[in-house]
Amino acid sequence: MTEEITRSDKRENLRKGVYLLPNLITSGSLFAGFYVIIASTNGDFVRAAWFILLSAILDGLDGKVARMTGTTSKFGVELDSLADVVAFGVAPGVLMYTWALKPFGKLGWLAAFIYVVCGALRLARFNVQVTTVESKRFIGLPIPAAASIVATCVLLFYELGGTGTIKKVSVVLLVFLLAFLMVSNIKYFSLKDPGLFKRQPFIMLVVAIILLIVIVAQPEIMLFCIGMSYLASGPLGYLFARRKQQHDVELTPESGIEDDEDAAKQD
């Protein structure tokens, strides 16, 4: 009975229509992801990489626009999730295979598929945990970040002229690293709400301007560095938290012994 009511509510909501602007932005992200596949199969890998980054920008905008305009909806959430599978899962997988993994044959496309399926699992877990996990942190590397790192890796190799064995080995290692981090329990800071619309210290504006200038001067290198810094922030934060936890555990017995000694002296 409850299931029938839920389905009836969904049909009624669709009859009322859907919000145009945020869903258009999501569709733009999906289009960019689809074009990545087309460009990759045509051998235009640099353009494919830039379109992944464009898709990531649009993916960050659709939710922000929906919240700012009060046009969030269940339909938009579902469309966004499906678009993410294509734009940040399938598209980067095809790009990596056609660009570097194809010479490995079956092992190459299987490696690309591992990235795709781990990305899909990451999205499925996010959809289940979205209302129960701390919103300022993600569990596992977000799939848009993983796809962006793939894109910046392609751009970096073309900028520096890296080819051959180094490229193939690097991409294989990157595929498995990204796949592992996406399905891991390592926490990452959310980039969905970076505080651009809130008051910040003046020094933050200066830093942002300097960073923007450096990115414009060397976009391929700087975008790769930013992506790898974010990738490393999760494992480094995890190791720091574990070390702090062990340090706290080591201090606890000592404090207990000191308390016992003080009590004995008082007796």
The 3-class SS string of the chain reads CHHHHHHHHHHHHHHHCCCHHHHHHHHHHHHHHHHHHHHHHCCCHHHHHHHHHHHHHHHHHHHHHHHHHCCCCHHHHHHHHHHHHHHHHHHHHHHHHHHHHHHHCHHHHHHHHHHHHHHHHHHHHHHHHCCCCCCCEEECCCHHHHHHHHHHHHHHHHHHCCCHHHHHHHHHHHHHHHHHHHHCCCEEECCCCCCCCCCCCHHHHHHHHHHHHHHHHCHHHHHHHHHHHHHHHHHHHHHHHHHHHHHHHHHHHHHHHHHHHHHHHHC
**What is the structure's pLDDT at 134?**
53
- Give the residue-averaged pLDDT of 127-150: 83
* Separation between Cα atoms, residue 248 and residue 250, nearest integer Å: 5
> Other C-beta atoms within 10 Å of 177: how many?
16
At residue 18, does pLDDT exceed 90? no
Roughly what angle, to the nearest 10 degrees, separates helices 20-41 and 45-69? 170
Q: What is the mean pLDDT of residues 56-84?
A: 88
Residue type, 103: P
Q: What is the mean pLDDT of residues 246-262?
A: 60
The CATH number covering residue 164 comes to 1.20.120.1760
Number of domains forming the structure of the chain: 1
Instruction: For residue 109, give both structure tokens.
Output: 């496309």
What pLDDT was estimated at residue 129? 80
CB 154 within 8 A of CB 99: yes
pLDDT the model gives residue 213: 92
CA-angle at 78, arms to 234 and 21, nearest 5° = 100
Looking at the chain, the whole-number percentage of residues with pLDDT higher than 70 is 82
User: In this structure, what is the dihedral angle of CA atoms 251, 255, 256, 257, given to the nearest 10 degrees?
Assistant: 110
Q: What percent of the chain has pLDDT over 90?
A: 51
pLDDT in tens, 171-228: 999 999 999 999 999 999 887 666 666 677 888 888 889 989 988 888 999 999 999 9
Q: Is the pLDDT of residue 7 over 70?
A: no
Please state which of the ranges 54-58, 107-111, 115-119, 238-242 shows the lowest mean pLDDT: 238-242
The yes-or-no verdict on residue 156 having pLDDT over 70 is yes
Say yes or no to pLDDT of 58 above 90: yes
Contact, 182 vs 119, CB < 8 A?
yes
The reply to whether the predicted model has a pTM over 0.85 is: no
Q: Domain containing 103: what range?
A: 2-266
